[in-house]
Amino acid sequence: MKDVTVGKRPRNDLSEAYIAGFLDGDGAISAIIERHPEKKYGFRVRVCLDFYQHKDNIGVLHHIQKYFGEGSLGKSIRNTHKLSLRNQNTLKMILPLLHKYVIVKKRQIEIALNILSRTIATKSDLIKVAKLADKLSSLNIRSKNIRKNSSKIIS
């Protein structure tokens, strides 16, 4: 039941605002271009939403996982853990909720939502979506050192 007291926000807004702030500071939005034998053109583009946290504070990742009702939690590097959300239908619902609160990653969410809204009917459509993934990658500081594929692999 929503709290309707004057001057107070519903609990869901508070949680979404907190998660958006956490994403701005310790999260990442990316789009992966990967080979997929079941796809008509042999590739797919998947949007990923990741949250990172030191092992001593892993509880916050559990909170976010519980809040959204899904996600894969695992070790990242050194003493860092990562919560990954990759279900494309879930991301279509989550990202608009976070968009209204993020500051740093607003453009990344807009590009990710653009990718998620596209239908791949032709190879040209796939290439356009892959180029959006490239654009999203260019906004992420660490992508230059980590990203394995770009739109150029689709020929």
For residue 6, tell me if it sits in a domain.
no
Q: What is the pTM of this model?
A: 0.85
* pLDDT, tens digit, 9 for 90 and up, residues 17-72: 999 999 999 999 999 999 998 888 899 999 999 999 999 999 999 999 999 999 99
The residue segments making up the domain with residue 47 are 11-146
* pLDDT, tens digit, 9 for 90 and up, residues 73-98: 988 888 899 999 999 999 999 999 99
For residue 3, tell me if it sits in a domain.
no
Q: Is 32 exposed, middle or buried (0-12, 13-18, 19+ CB in 10 A)?
A: middle
For residue 152, tell me if it sits in a domain.
no
Given a cut of 80, whether residue 4 has pLDDT beyond it is no
For residue 83, tell me if it sits in a domain.
yes
- Residue 75: give its domain's CATH number: 3.10.28.10
How many independent structural domains does the chain possess?
1
For residue 153, tell me if it sits in a domain.
no
What percent of the chain has pLDDT above 90? 70
Given a cut of 80, whether residue 1 has pLDDT beyond it is no
Buried b (16+ CB within 10 A) or exposed e, 1-18: eeeeeeeeeeeeeeebbe
For residue 133, tell me if it sits in a domain.
yes
* pLDDT, tens digit, 9 for 90 and up, residues 137-155: 988 876 555 666 777 778 6
Alpha carbon distance 52, 29 (integer Å): 12
DSSP state string for the chain: -----TT---HHHHHHHHHHHHHHHHEEEEEEEEE-TTSTTSEEEEEEEEEEEEGGGHHHHHHHHHHHT--EEEE-STTEEEEEE--HHHHHHHHHHHHTT-STTHHHHHHHHHHHH----SHHHHHHHHHHHHHHHHTSTTHHHH----GGG--
Higher pLDDT, 11 or 141: 141
Given a cut of 60, whether residue 10 has pLDDT beyond it is no
For residue 139, tell me if it sits in a domain.
yes
